[in-house]
Amino acid sequence: MDAPQLAGKIVLVSGGTQGLGEAVARRAALQGAEGIVVTGRNAAEGERVRTELESAGARALYLKTDLADVDQARASVKDTISEFGRLDAVANCAGLTTRGTFLNTEQELFDAHIAINLRAPFFIMAETIRHLVSRGAPGSILNVISIAEHGGQDFLAPYVAAKAGLAGATRNAAHAHRWDRIRINGLDIGWTATAGEAATQKAFHGAGDDWLEKASASVPMGKLGQPDEIAEFIVFLLSDRSGVVTGSVIDWDQQVIGGQE
């Protein structure tokens, strides 16, 4: 039997207290991570996830973190290293999905998207890379981006701007640090079935409690992206099992970019 994919690794999951981030943290525990740190703003949810990760056999830590504050974003890396002595892998899963077009987006909304969807993962990457280089150790980073970074819907203008920037930063960092044996990849996820997406659909699109059923019927595979399935792929990309892959931004969706009806 193959060894667990993250056996002995220390893993940081930003946005790990809910949705996709929580699924990634759970998958990391299942795949043998020695230590897992989850960040988020909701302390009750953070402690719930931490307890459940420890019940699954991993040492776990919750860090209350507001990623809109760049100092807190950077501190999440430093505090992980302080707690566990090192950091081997990072999954940047936190994201902001509030809506805005070019006609109604004010600076405050634009700045919020840049802060959460670009600046925070940028500086988490930077702190992680600095740590790995100082150790002379290999490592891996996975940035959850979005299929929308290719262009997206009109109501996602500030979101697309930030996520497209993250895609570029992912490739740049991967190129800059390939000789340090730090692998950095991105995943362009599409429409995903999470509690956060349910809240977004109801808040911005007038969706009812049957939104998921209707959404699932509207897409080719008959279902939205599933957090557990995406998390399995993220953990694979973080692990040594994914080999030399770096600088890849992979579309995880059922729409084909460039295809036309």
Annotated catalytic residues are: 159
CA dihedral 157, 161, 163, 167 (to 10 degrees): 140
Q: Among residues 14, 239, 259, which one has the least CA distance to residue 147?
A: 259
Handedness of CA 114, 116, 118, 119 (dihedral sign): positive
Pick the closest to residue 89 from 53, 49, 139, 45 (CA basis): 139
CB of 184 closer than 8 Å to CB of 173 = yes
List the helix and strand counts (H, then E) for the chain: 9, 7
In degrees and rounded to multiples of 5, residue 77 shows phi and psi of -70, -50
Which backbone phi and psi does 40 adopt, to 5 degrees? 170, 175
> Residue 229: CB partners within 8 Å, gap ≥ 6?
none
Sort residue 85 into left (φ over 0), alpha (ψ -120 to 50) or beta. Answer: left
Is residue 147 classed exposed, middle or buried when 0-12, 13-18 and 19+ CB atoms within 10 A define those classes? buried
